[in-house]
Amino acid sequence: MQVAWFGKKKQKADDDIDLNHIPRHVAIIMDGNGRWAQRRGLPRQAGHSAGSEAFRRAADTLARLGVEVLTVYAFSTENWKRPAEEVSAIMRLLDKYLHESVREMQEKNIRLYFFGDLTPFSPELRKLIAETEKISETTTGMRVNVCLNYGGRDELTRACRLLAEDCEKGKLHASDITGEMVESRLYSAGVPDPDLLIRPGGEQRFSNFLLWQLAYTEFVFSDVLWPDFGEKEIRAAIAEYQHRKRRFGGV
């Protein structure tokens, strides 16, 4: 009797979501930092700083819920259009985050990987990124993919280029190219597609994010700005996901 009562109580504490059907892979477009700051009369940079804290909290929450992969959109190939001051503030934040993550990854048992063209970043930043990915070989927990100077079109163009190079070298015939071969040349090679995409910040578009991988992903949009997006909002997004009927083109 006692056991059954405890069992019931535990379920009640989590009755907003079903812990047996947690999405394996969650992707997030971390949007709304600038507006969050502007509404407070702060420079946009302050929003990015608050956004990086929201990212940490989200990673903790999702890891605790048993999510296996988290992919976040941190800086797009189009974000270079922003004022130089804002771009350098984001680079400084990234540098700070990477320095801290070297310790944090081991503490929290997180694996950190980066998707995107890293060539425009400073040699110091690239070195830190390489170090971080090296540590990821020693940790075993949730995998976090951070998309930096990432664009879905850029990723697909790169995959085409890699396939064309193999054709030029005579390793491959154009007529033999398969979807699996395209997939294996994406930054996300070997990672299952996202089950759930969350976009806070009120916009309902995917702004050049994971164009290939989102083919059958469930979308949840929210008006809450990213720095305010907490555990409550994450659980609500997962609850909405759990009510969806995924058909993948079938019936």
- Residues at the site binding ligand IPE, with contacts judged by CB under 6 A: 29-35, 73-76, 79, 90, 201, 203, 205, 207
Alpha-carbon distances of 122 from 66, 91, 127, 137, 150, rounded to whole Å: 35, 9, 9, 23, 16
Q: Which does 73 bind (CB under 5 to 8 A by kind): Mg ion, ligand IPE, none?
A: ligand IPE
Specify whether the backbone of 125 is left (phi greater than 0), alpha (psi in -120 to 50) or beta. alpha
> Is 79 marked active-site?
yes
Polymer length in residues for the chain: 251
Q: Which of 22, 27, 31, 59 binds Mg ion (CB under 5 A)?
A: 31
Q: How far is the CB of 200 from Mg ion (least distance, A)?
A: 10
Task: Write the DSSP symbol of residue 246.
Answer: -
DSSP line for 8-30: HHHHHHTTTS-TTS--SEEEEE-
User: Of the ranges 7-15, 29-37, 170-178, 181-189, which one interacts with Mg ion (CB under 5 A)?
Assistant: 29-37
Whose Cβ is closer to ligand IPE: residue 26's or residue 30's? 30
Q: How far is the CB of 47 from Mg ion (least distance, A)?
A: 10
Q: Does 72 bind Mg ion (CB under 5 A)?
A: no
User: Of the ranges 28-36, 40-48, 69-77, 89-97, which one interacts with Mg ion (CB under 5 A)?
Assistant: 28-36
* Close Cβ partners of 95 (under 8 Å, ≥ 6 residues apart): 124, 125, 128
Q: Which residues are annotated as catalytic?
A: 31, 79
